[in-house]
Each structure stands twice: as C-alpha cells, then as structure tokens.
Amino acid sequence: MDFQHLEGTGVALVTPFKKNLDVDYEALKGLLDFTAKGGVDYFVVQGTTGEAATTSIEEKHEILNFVLNNNTQKLPVVYGLGGNNTRALVRQIQQTHLSDVSALLSVNPYYNKPSQNGIIAHYKTLADASPVPLILYNVPGRTASNMTAETTLELADHPNIIGIKEASGNWEQILNILKNKPKDFMVISGDDLLAPAIYALGGTGVISVLANVAPHLFQQIRQGFETSDLEQVREATNQLLPLNPLMYEESNPVGVKAALHILGICTPFVRLPLVHASEALTRKIAAQIKI
C-alpha cells in the first residue's frame, strides 16, 4: 500500500458557526483556503475539533460535500466517522458517499469501555464494511479506554487499516508500535507538540489542531526534517509551544476557535455543552497570536 498523499500535516478542521450556531459555510471556505495556502497536506473533516459530537448526520454529509466541492488545491480528504455503536457506524458508512474520500478516521469506542478484544472486533467490522481505508484514532483522554500497542499491531495487519492517529501520550506504547508495525502502516501524531518526535522516530506526520491557526509552522517542521535542518524544526516548534496549552485550557475546539476569531477567519462560537472562550483565555491567546 502507498499512502504517501496522507503524509505530513492533516489539519483537523474546525466547523465554523454563525451566531445562531448554524454552520457558517462562507467561513469554512475561508478556512480551507487559509490552511491550504499555509501548506497543510490534507484535510480532516468532522473529527473532534470539528465538533462531530454535536453535528447531525445531515450536517456531517453537508460539511463533507462542501469541503470536497471547495477543495481548490485538490488536497486529500479524511473523514471522521467514529462512535461506540458498531452496528450504527456500519450503517453510516453504507449511507455516506465516500468515493472522493481518501480514508476514514475512526475514534476508539468511548463510554462502553470495551476490552481489547472488543476494540479489535469493532475496528475489524468497520474496516470490512468500509469502501475506503481506515485510520485508527487512540485518544484515551476522551474515550476512557486505551488501545494497546499489541491491539494496534494486530489491527495493522488488516488490509483495510492503514494507520493510527496516536494521542495516548504513552511513549513506550508509541515506540513499540513504531518498532513492530508493518512497513507501510502510518503512525500519525495526535499531539501537535509531539509531531517532531514522531517524525524523528519514523512516523508519517500529524493530525493537528493548531494547523488551523499556524499551518506554515507545521510545513516548516516537515521541511526541516526533509532537509535535515533541525534548527528550523526547533524554531517552528518553539513558536507553537506557548500557544498549544491554551487550545485545551477550556476544551478543544474552544481555544482554536478563539484564535481563529482573532485572526478574522470565523466566530468563536461552539455548540453546547461547550461554551466559547472566556475573556481571560481570549486575552492570553491574543497575546500569543503573532505567528
């Protein structure tokens, strides 16, 4: 398998909203253009940062179709489709037009807290049902269950599972996956600040929150590794360092939407149960928006 078109930076697109919390497609078009010109390599639609938990199935389809139809640079598109009801997800896969989608990104089942065997059976069922390849997404901080290295490596042998977005923060686990994975299986950083280390250890890139705001810095990190310019990598990473924790201080995507509002790209509004950034957080983010 060759999925080089999904190497580098995938931007985990926010879903811009109007004040009445309808999707703001004009702002979404602006965000697509801004991040593409900034050097991202592919779009990730309706992941956690896109507030997939509070968009309807109809909205998800509309947002995906809008991105596909307004993708002026023809970047690859990865579509987020995950949950904790395996049968319902299979139906969603069957009911979604995926011919122009490069891969699905599917989060480890949350709330149910399945065993590792349950996680394996869940993902194999989705991969068998999907007409496009599947990227696993391990984020224990949100799902309350971790996908172990052994589970990931077993799933990596499935012909329709091509990679993992790893956001466990468990370096021993990540290193075990990198050491023992099949050659073409992609390990993608789910943490913006760990992207340089993932590149250095043989990973393929990052699916990034901050690439909504500073896509050029992630382009510089990738180019730095490609040209062995580690000083460029350090400089770009250091610019991200003070802004990164602010993205999560009041939960993602509250911080990144506040940053995008400061840049004039979209409103700061999020859907309940999230609320938009406090004045205190907005001031801290504004003090760092000079990248």
Q: 9, 219 in Cβ contact below 8 A?
A: yes
Sign of the CA dihedral with 134 first, then 51, 46, and 207 last: negative
Q: Is 110 annotated in the active site?
A: no
Instruction: Identify the active-site residue in 42, 79, 165, 199.
Output: 165
Q: 205, 164 in Cβ contact below 8 A?
A: no
Comparing C-alpha atoms, which of 123, 73, 67, 138 is closest to residue 97?
Answer: 67
Instruction: Identify the active-site residue in 42, 79, 137, 199.
Output: 137
Q: Is 19 annotated in the active site?
A: no
d(Cα 212, Cα 40) in Å, to the nearest integer?
9
d(Cα 268, Cα 282) in Å, to the nearest integer?
10
Ramachandran angles phi, psi of 198, nearest 5° = -65, -45
Cis peptide before 76 (omega within 30 of 0): no
Helical (H) or strand (E) element with 149: helix 149-156
Which residues carry out catalysis? 137, 165
